[in-house]
Structure 1
Amino acid sequence: MADTRLAISLRLLPLLLTAALALLPVAVSAETETEALYRTHCAACHGEDRLGGLGPALLPGNLSRLKPAAAEAVIRDGRAASQMPGFAAQLEDDQIASLAEWIYREPEVEPRWGQDEILASQVVHHPDGTLPDAPRFDADPLNLFIVVETGDHHATLLDGDTFTPIRRFATRYALHGGPKYTPDGRHVFFGSRDGWITKYDIYNMEVVAEVRAGINMRNIAVSADGRYVMAANYLPHSLVLFDAHNLDLMKVYPAVGENGQSSRVSAVYAAPPRGSFIAALKDIEEVWEIPWPLPTEPVVSTGHMATPLAPRRSHDTPNFRVRRIPVPDYLDDFFFDLDYQHVIGASRGGEGGMVVDLDSGEKVADLPLEGMPHLGSGITWEYQGRRVMATPHLTRAAVSIIDMTSWEVIKTLETDGPGFFMRSHANSPYVWADVFFGPNRDRVHVIDKQSLEIVETLIPEPGRTAAHVEFDRYGEKLLLSLWEDDGAVIVYDAETLEEEKRIPMSKPSGKYNVWNKTRYEEGTSH
């Protein structure tokens, strides 16, 4: 009987295998077809491994600003003012949907981007010192604005006196974290979501050099003397240091805690009075400080923030060596006091903030800031003889105002919705706060710095997002964005609050004034 059962089983085995194999190709062939479509139509620009090339990286972390439905539209119709063509004539709807779904999947093997890949990516178009030293335009170099237009991935160089565009030029895909200037205002560095750092000579309106620091980059920082650039990466988990002249690679720092755990890097900032970079780590309870070499000549800031002639060092740390500062919670959003002694940090998953003394490494205060404070957009000013800071909240319709001596919340202003950006200027009596999230995103509040009250609510264009203010160097005029693909930059009189001019732009996500950013003006983010 056993032999009979075995014989029957052996006869059935081929049938069972055939049935199993008949099911397998359904899943495999669909995956293979999608991959084949990608190799045929996409890989030439976006890379065989989706790490990017002429086009951006197509990985989930790099596509956070693009919804899947919008990705389908881009594949089908192309993207205006870019090299992305439409494939409606070559691909069926189900093929487009399959490609769009596939690029949002994590790769089976985590892609690598280390020293060899960084070195191979560097391109130097104009070596340092080879371009003329005189500006090719007639405008105040310290009152220029760079306007980042994310709608079609361009930037506009804008005269801050006449508010006339000087040059509009293409940028990398999805710039992130804000451009950073050298102290003289001649060069600006852009960082893209997919890891590219671009050095641009404003005087000559030319790209000087480019290098790819990572696959998914959060932001960049430039040292106070303009000699070094540091990049913060989500993928891979690293900080990367460059010589600013030609973006030559200097060092890669794996973001690994003392316990051996690897971490994404939320952001990196320059702390001029300390002569160091400060990095926020997202997945380990540490803040890192990395000092740069002290300048051989004294550097004097003429702005509101009085940078010492030689940055102070409260600790004996050799140049470019990591100083680990343990903190009692995960931090991924930062604000600093004016002398960079204290960092005010918050975790995106937390319900508050904390204040850490960077010299001692001790926590000195907890802040009751429910609703995800957006500390990176915080600002400060003098109020009744004391320094206060204010921050919007990403999930709460409020602005919190904090005494920076006692670290107490002295007022909470109720707003028409959660906000994203706040801006002011030392010469302006007002703070401008947008209402970026929710149904009232077309509004912007004007807050009196001394009464701590909302004195005006403007609606530049009903139903269209109003966001991100930046003042000119004198605090007399300001720019506000209509944050739409067919948007505009609106020029206001900072005293009368009257609109003066509209400049059409494609989703002008941020405006960055040279004077305010290089002098660390108190009313702008750093």
Structure 2
Amino acid sequence: MKPALSLAASLLLFCGHAIADCLTRGTGDLGIVIERAAGSLQIVDTTAHQSLFRVEGLGDLSHASAVYSRDERYAFIFGRDGGLTKVDILCGKIVNRVIQGGNSIGGAISQNGSLIAVSNYEPGGVKIFSTQDLSLVADIPATEVTDREGKRKGSKTVGLVDAPGQRFAVTLYDSSEAWIIDMKNPAEPKIQRHTKIGALPYDALVTPDGRYYISGLFGQDGLSLLDLWHPEKPPRLILEGYGRGKQKLPVYKMPHLEGWAVAGNSAFLPAVGHHEVLVVRQGDWVETDRIKVHGQP
């Protein structure tokens, strides 16, 4: 009996240490800081202003982004190398990691928190995973286009956001499309495709009320506006020709759109190729002001 008791005591001691390594606290004031060059992140306490954990082995984080689980315990990290990593921020460790593509730039978590979607530059398309174990739920290929070398490839997907009703919205850069992906039945995704939304849509955002999905256009002055409450209606062009009469400057790096602000009844949007921020009134989507800035937004 003594060896058995000794083994049981050792196991209890080991489990006690394992549990002690994880924090037992709320996560509302915790955050993550991406360490791009190192391929790691730090979990920080924003109240105490201190680092709690460093998590390594996250791959290429040169264009990293993250979303959180509904219970705020897990962070899902999207890496440029196609890596999708689930991190436990209370234990400071990787729970699961998959390489799901060759070049990805972001993703979103579904309204009920059960699905995580990733948009890909290579091979294009959208992949959707279970948040529980990162098992693949749906692989949605993008529209094929012909590249400069005459090869067929899937369009880059950008501006992936979650939308009300277990849906995702995504923009296709090369094929000038906006899709609404309905995942109410994960076994049978329903896709509503809108084509010819404008030249080279580079990124997108959804308004805080979940109604409007706006895609920025790199190939022309204007933005594409899709009403998610009436998805049967085609997107319409807003702010058409906002750079008319002005010399467009060379753009060395496309701006982001998803991180831009909607405050009160106004949206603040970047003027591509100009040193200006456009102020737009929601509802009729008419420009009301411009804010001059020192560089391209």
- TM over 0.5, shorter chain: yes
Match of residue 362 from structure 1? 234
| DSSP 3-state at the match of 1:377 | coil
1:264 and 2:156 matched: yes
The structure with the largest strand share of the pair is: 2
Report the CA distance shift for 1:318/1:156 in structure 2 as closer, same or farther (over 3 A): closer
For structure 1, the 5+ residue unaligned runs are 1-131, 295-316, 420-526
Aligned-residue offset at 1:394: 5.4
Match of residue 11 from structure 2? none
Match of residue 116 from structure 2? 229
**Residue of 169, 179, 197 corresponding to 1:278:** 169
Report the CA distance shift for 1:138/1:200 in structure 2 as closer, same or farther (over 3 A): same
| Contact preservation (8 Å) 2:201, 2:219 | no
1:403 and 2:289 matched: no
- C-alpha distance in structure 1 between counterparts of 2:19 and 2:73, whole Å: 9
For structure 2, the 5+ residue unaligned runs are 1-17, 146-151, 249-253
Report the CA distance shift for 1:221/1:291 in structure 2 as closer, same or farther (over 3 A): same
Aligned-residue offset at 1:181: 0.5
1:375 and 2:257 matched: yes
In the superposition, the TM-score normalised over structure 1's length comes to 0.46
The structure with the largest helix share of the pair is: 1
**Residue of 140, 144, 162 corresponding to 2:30:** 144
Q: What do the CA deviations read for 1:243-299 (whole angstroms, capped 9, x no partner)? A: 1111112222211269x984121242111x2320111111113211112238xxxxx
- C-alpha distance in structure 1 between counterparts of 2:267 and 2:64, whole Å: 21
| DSSP 3-state at the match of 2:258 | helix
- C-alpha distance in structure 1 between counterparts of 2:281 and 2:127, whole Å: 35
Match of residue 390 from structure 1? 268
Q: Which moved more, 1:279-288 or 1:369-378?
A: 369-378
* Equivalent position amino acid for 1:402 in 2: V
Report the CA distance shift for 1:198/1:354 in structure 2 as closer, same or farther (over 3 A): same
Aligned-residue offset at 1:331: 2.0
**Residue of 189, 193, 204 corresponding to 1:334:** 204
| DSSP 3-state at the match of 2:28 | helix
Report the CA distance shift for 1:325/1:400 in structure 2 as closer, same or farther (over 3 A): same
- C-alpha distance in structure 2 between counterparts of 1:251 and 1:133, whole Å: 35
* Equivalent position amino acid for 2:95 in 1: V
- C-alpha distance in structure 2 between counterparts of 1:210 and 1:175, whole Å: 17
Aligned-residue offset at 1:139: 5.6
Q: What do the CA deviations read for 1:462-490 (whole angstroms, capped 9, x no partner)? A: xxxxxxxxxxxxxxxxxxxxxxxxxxxxx
Q: What do the CA deviations read for 1:283-319 (whole angstroms, capped 9, x no partner)? A: 113211112238xxxxxxxxxxxxxxxxxxxxxx985
* Equivalent position amino acid for 1:238 in 2: G
Backbone CA RMSD of aligned residues? 2.8
User: Number of residues paired by the alignment?
Assistant: 261
Q: Percent identity?
A: 23
Q: What do the CA deviations read for 1:205-253 (whole angstroms, capped 9, x no partner)? A: 1111111110111212211222111111111122112111111122222
Larger Rg: 1
| Equivalent residue runs for 1:436-447 within 5 Å | none
| Contact preservation (8 Å) 2:35, 2:61 | no
| Contact preservation (8 Å) 1:325, 1:361 | no
Match of residue 50 from structure 2? 164
* Equivalent position amino acid for 2:166 in 1: G
Structure 1 moving runs of 4+ over 6 Å: 132-135
